[in-house]
Structure 1
């Protein structure tokens, strides 16, 4: 969760300018033109995509995080064996790639293929840093989750080659909870028999001070941040009737579930209570599974309990591969991005790093279906909404976070709190008058 928040905040801070520079030959790089980027191959019989012919003498550079290097080395080795195209790996962490590409791309120094979280698209696409996923578009849409495909699209155009997905869901201690609750009302009923604040025993916790998690109360009833798949910052749905209803339900949970201030629950506090056997259920992401298993806990992972009778919608994130618009070898780069986004690649990524596949066939592979935790996260992901890609998302976190804190800690009226937050967001987005 923290890395998604960092990615979003970074995106909001970037000021994209037209940058020039010299490449190795002394010429200023320019984005690949439509003519030079246009693939010469066409779709094959039976709807399958014909092979794309790479440029003669092509060699590629790919950026990825240090933690993914072993996986990437194996996949790029297979790519080189198949296509005869050498690939160099450079270690650049995901949150840094768009900022680095902003300067390195026009200078002819950027990687041909990059990989980062989808919520950076609002910076990368308007800056002209990426080539659309055009040649493999039909294949990509067919093979990957619709939620993932929508996440790596911007303004109706597909740019990404999905790689992995993540969201948060319900993690429970099977020694304390025999069966995952179906609704938050069931959680409340369990809490009445289990909660003991004096002994630090609680039925459930989530980071109450973090909108990333609290979004489920807004979205599950029909609220939203920005319209048009998170790209229209002029359409704010954080204070519509459905959002107010969700916030009202959120407020009702304090007395029955967590009689404490929102700032009193942190990631580390929850982890300590859960691993000690005091906390029965945790709402968290896949990044915590290893720690819980290493603590010797028998855990279950299930979709989030329903809210007000509605399936609970979580925020989600999607990592994908992208082709640098300034690549000298755009066809070869497309081949590599598509190769790295394949079912085989996603399954290897899962095996070596635990990354959850976006590919539908990979998600149904026995390796995934026999892993209860991954299967549980995928079930929730399929009922999630990707975090908005609009650059204005950076203006949302503080006002809406304060609204949730005011309602939970001070009993402020939910509608008044949300109206105030939305006005602050509109002011930050450009002073649009509240409706």
Structure 2
């Protein structure tokens, strides 16, 4: 689910160009193929077909050619590389936590939303796409983790994480389940899925400035709060609640095969849960007794205007006038059901899909996933520290090692 930069550009991605003719810039009509400028949009495999289905409408109303390109792997890395050359698309679709890296690389421009357009979005989603006081993306979908529960095995939502563990142990002892909880850790850890429990126990990744922006100078990993939080995670590892044998490939199947009553995941898991026929409910991840809420991160999917695109004016028009429209927002939801960031679209789809409202409720108070460039230094050391600690390694030594690795990467 979380996108990380793991590769370099694919040469084929760098050959994209707009198909256009030289005349007719300022004319609009049905024959979009004869119009200038053009518009090239990069999106992943799920979003590209939706945008393609709107292509004729975009071309007619914008009066330009539109080319939608599906980039299946390393979309962020490919976009940054293309922006450093002369092959950038005009619009790219991606996660809000790319913003710091994209701004640092001069790859995207601020999005010029009007005040009424801003008011049409979920306030938390709009905050997530803001960076250094400017809005850099038009948000269209939100996501966060929640507790998905088999209601036949666990009819009541646990009030605390300790209640969840006690109930899960009883279910296992009674032979009704095989695992206490499905929360992905994997052999290399998973900072995103660990964060709600880490936050409940008092840990943090970065402090915040007075204006609410994340402060890269205040790294929480290595502070006493983080050691305390990882002590709780260590205890869950020793108790068999968290396991490195549960990762992204088997976390949802464990739940859909009824081997556990509890799954911590996001909206992306619901399609498989529904296919399994399990009766389920979606509620907030419970926090530790007497400690903070188990606050997940808020992720926001967005449209960005490329700073090095060849048709920046029409790209701004597209992002501000079409991504802010209800029809496109609903179509993107249908292709990949996640709570729409556009309030009008959210209000319509939640009537037919109560899960959407439940995920949003479970994410109440969620903090936007840090989009500062320094966050890229956190994922690997934090995850590996989690996996080691779940596996029984010394907490203080492991956390301090992760802090040293993160700090060193940030200073480079």
By the TM > 0.5 criterion, same fold? yes
Looking at structure 2, the residues matched to 402 and 108 of structure 1 have their Cα atoms a distance apart, in angstroms, of 37
Match of 2:231 among 244, 248, 256: 248
1:125 equivalent in structure 2: 103
- Whether 1:63 aligns to 2:42 is yes
Query: 1:320 deviation in Å?
Result: 0.7
Find the residue that maps to 1:195 and give its secondary structure.
helix
* Aligned match of 2:127: 150
Counterpart of 2:25 in structure 1 is none
Shift of 1:323: 1.0
Say if 1:197 and 1:393 are closer, same or farther in 2 by CA, change over 3 A: farther
Task: State the Cα distance separating 1:346 from its structure 2 match.
Answer: 1.3
* Residue 362 (structure 1) aligns with: 345
Residue 147 of structure 1 contacts residue 382 of structure 1 at CA under 8 Å; is this kept in 2?
Answer: no
Q: Which of residues 116, 123, 141 in structure 2 aligns to 1:164? A: 141
* 1:333 matches 2:315: yes
Q: CA RMSD in A?
A: 3.1
CA distance in 2, matches of 1:231, 1:417: 24
Q: What is the TM-score when the length of structure 1 is the normalising length?
A: 0.78
Report what 2:204 is aligned to: 224
Q: Is the 8 A contact 2:198 2:233 kept in 1?
A: no
For residue 166 of structure 1, report the CA deviation from its aligned partner.
1.7
Q: Distance in 1 between matches of 2:346 and 2:382?
A: 34
Query: 1:249-264 to 2 correspondence within 5 Å?
Result: 249-254=232-237, 258=241, 262-264=243-245
Match of 2:160 among 183, 201, 204: 183
**2:325 aligned residue (306, 324, 342):** 342
Once the two structures are TM-superposed, the CA of residue 241 in structure 1 deviates from its matched residue by: 4.0
The counterpart of 1:286, out of the listed 254, 257, 267, is: 267
The answer for unaligned runs of 5 or more in structure 2 is: 19-34
Task: Give the secondary-structure state (helix, strand or coil) at the position aligned to 1:318.
Answer: strand
Please tell me whether the aligned partners of residues 191 and 257 of structure 1 are also in contact (alpha carbons under 8 angstroms): no
The CA deviation at 1:321 is 0.6
Aligned residue in 1 for 2:220: 237
Residue of structure 2 in register with 1:82 after alignment: 61
My pick for the range that moved more, 285-294 or 189-198, is: 189-198
CA spacing shift, 1:143–1:257, aligned 2, 3 Å: farther
Shift of 1:306: 2.4
Within 5 Å, give how 1:26-37 maps onto structure 2.
none
Which residue, 277, 296, 300 being the options, matches 2:277?
A: 296
C-alpha deviation, 1:279, in angstroms: 0.6
State the partner residue of 1:114. Answer: 92
- Structure-2 residue corresponding to 1:381: 363
**Aligned-pair CA distance for 1:409:** 2.4
**Cα distance in structure 1, aligned partners of 2:181 and 2:318:** 44
- Counterpart position of 1:425: 406
Shift of 1:280: 0.4
Matched residues in 2 for 1:243 and 1:137: separation?
Answer: 41
* Structure 1 position 206, deviation (Å): 0.4
Tell me, what secondary structure is at the counterpart of 2:408?
A: helix
- Tell me, in whole angstroms, the C-alpha distance in 2 between the residues paired with 1:404 and 1:99: 26
3-state DSSP class of the match of 1:304?
A: coil
Is the 8 Å Cα contact of residues 305 and 316 (structure 2) preserved in structure 1? yes
Distance change in 2, residues 1:428/1:129 (3 Å): closer
Q: 5 Å matches for 1:42-61?
A: 57-61=36-40
Deviation at 1:333, TM superposition (A): 1.2
Tell me the CA shift for residue 192 of structure 1.
3.8
SS in 1 for 2:74: helix
1:217–1:243 Cα contact (<8 Å) kept: no
Q: Does 1:318 align with 2:295?
A: no
Sort the Cα spacing of 1:72 and 1:312 in 2 relative to 1 into closer, same or farther, 3 A. same
Q: 2:80 aligns with which of 79, 84, 102?
A: 102
Aligned-residue offset at 1:140:
4.5
- Cα distance between partner residues in 2 of 1:360 and 1:243: 36
Q: How far 1:128 moved relative to its partner?
A: 1.4
Q: Name whichever of 289-298 and 197-206 sits farther off.
A: 197-206
